[in-house]
Structure 1
């Protein structure tokens, strides 16, 4: 068997955000957000449609949203590229989701909590060895929690997960192993197959169950991510302005100005100047 890579945006949405994924997402969130405690009994996946074919392959991230029975909104995102200001973007998306709940005339009492769960394919917090990090508002000196702690950021850094298959103990271990290694597996591990939600996730991820168009789409997206990772690595290694500009020139036909700016470290205005010069 060959499994699609759940770290790629299209595959991530297919596995966790499609109309058939409710039980998968409940298990996934209970494992990673609630430490394996079956807190979530039901949820609604918001906008369960898969993203359309990319126009120029410019999308670099995509999230899944769900509303829990108590109204809590959960944003789940898989991020493979460590782009500039990524942490700010996560906070912005969570704050925007929180603020945009209210319709005109509604009071603040109607606001429900927002949890942003972000899985990264890179080390985001280099000074911490924690695989899972959780952030809420606290008083700076005494560390007591804010009265209405309605925005929580949860991060899972895949490179910090080092357990082998035989070492998997919790359901969180098994979901993280699935995220990190599914693409390289040729069969479903027996210890993971016994969990219905993970079994179903592997079924959806099985390339044999996809149409030819779906396989082609995910191959395009996977190659696109690899190209961007290569560009970022090259940009960091070279570092010189002229070399950054050369990398940006090569990306003009593939990416929008903001993404090129994030990838290379040059300003959006510089990217636009390059685009006008090359027209």
Structure 2
């Protein structure tokens, strides 16, 4: 994704929060954090996010700022600060106004679009938007996204792996991983937790819409009854008769009369 070469490559990779329980529904099941360092001092925060999260930009900027600020020890000079990059690999659509699957954000002048500094760089990679156009001209970054997207068959992945040998290793490792009964059980439990999360959210959303609709209808009918009572009071209709036709209590009608 960063188009680095052998002279500007990764020198260290750290898995963050690797001891978190992956089966809970507190958000830990849906993300993976990786911190990587380049040999020029650049730091990279990589986050894989499965479940939709509306504040992804704010979240990414927050963790980018922590990564950037933690470079300086007390009393250190600003010139020691190095570039910090955040990469967000998302299994959901997030950027509604963008059509491309890979979008990069910097700090720019809103008029001239000149870059203030190259120290900040935030990537969003949205898997649902990815489509492999021509397998014969596939780039390394596209090959990896095709692998992560889950859209392609094993046969198609084997063809993709011909362009990127590391993907062949990943596919072989995945096969070995799934043959391990314990690892496969943990994987299936995690997948079940994610499916349950989506099901619960869908059910709650539907229930909320129905409840909101009913409350709206009831509120509308109530306001209509109040207006009817006001009109009948103006015509000096008996309060008991108003109550009969509006379903409002005598107390409510007397209150309306006073107002």
Same fold (TM over 0.5): yes
Is 1:130 the counterpart of 2:100? The answer is yes
Q: Which moved more, 1:55-64 or 1:160-169?
A: 160-169
Task: Give me the whole-angstrom Cα distance separating, in 2, the residues matched to 1:56 and 1:193.
Answer: 37
Is 1:201 the counterpart of 2:132? The answer is no
Is 1:216 the counterpart of 2:185? The answer is yes
Is 1:79 the counterpart of 2:27? The answer is no
Task: Give me the whole-angstrom Cα distance separating, in 1, the residues matched to 2:7 and 2:151.
Answer: 26
Task: Give me the whole-angstrom Cα distance separating, in 1, the residues matched to 2:58 and 2:181.
Answer: 38
Alignment map for 1:105-254 (pairs within 5 Å): 105-146=75-116, 148-163=117-132, 166=135, 169-181=138-150, 185=154, 188-208=157-177, 211-240=180-209
Task: Give me the whole-angstrom Cα distance separating, in 2, the residues matched to 1:204 and 1:86.
Answer: 30
Task: Label 1:191 to 1:241 Cα distance change in 2 as closer, same or farther (>3 A).
Answer: closer
Q: Corresponding residue for 1:41?
A: 9
Task: Give me the whole-angstrom Cα distance separating, in 2, the residues matched to 1:37 and 1:226.
Answer: 39
Gaps of 5+ in 2: 213-259
Task: Label 1:113 to 1:168 Cα distance change in 2 as closer, same or farther (>3 A).
Answer: same
Task: Give me the whole-angstrom Cα distance separating, in 2, the residues matched to 1:122 and 1:157.
Answer: 6
Task: Give me the whole-angstrom Cα distance separating, in 2, the residues matched to 1:183 and 1:210.
Answer: 21
Compare relative contact order (CA 8 Å, sep 6+) and give the higher one, 1 or 2.
Answer: 1
Conservation of the 8 A alpha-carbon contact between 2:106 and 2:118? yes
Gaps of 5+ in 1: 1-31, 244-279
Report SS of the residue matched to 1:189: helix
Task: Give me the whole-angstrom Cα distance separating, in 2, the residues matched to 1:208 and 1:133.
Answer: 32
Task: Give me the whole-angstrom Cα distance separating, in 1, the residues matched to 2:193 and 2:23.
Answer: 12
Greater share of residues in strand: 2
Conservation of the 8 A alpha-carbon contact between 1:94 and 1:116? yes
Report SS of the residue matched to 2:37: strand
Report SS of the residue matched to 1:112: coil
How far is 1:211 from its partner?
A: 3.4
Conservation of the 8 A alpha-carbon contact between 1:33 and 1:117? no
Conservation of the 8 A alpha-carbon contact between 2:146 and 2:152? no
Task: Label 1:118 to 1:174 Cα distance change in 2 as closer, same or farther (>3 A).
Answer: same
Counterpart among 60, 63, 82 of residue 33 in structure 2? 63
Counterpart among 35, 49, 63 of residue 93 in structure 1? 63
Q: Which moved more, 1:112-121 or 1:208-217?
A: 208-217
TM value normalised by structure 2: 0.70
Task: Label 1:47 to 1:216 Cα distance change in 2 as closer, same or farther (>3 A).
Answer: same
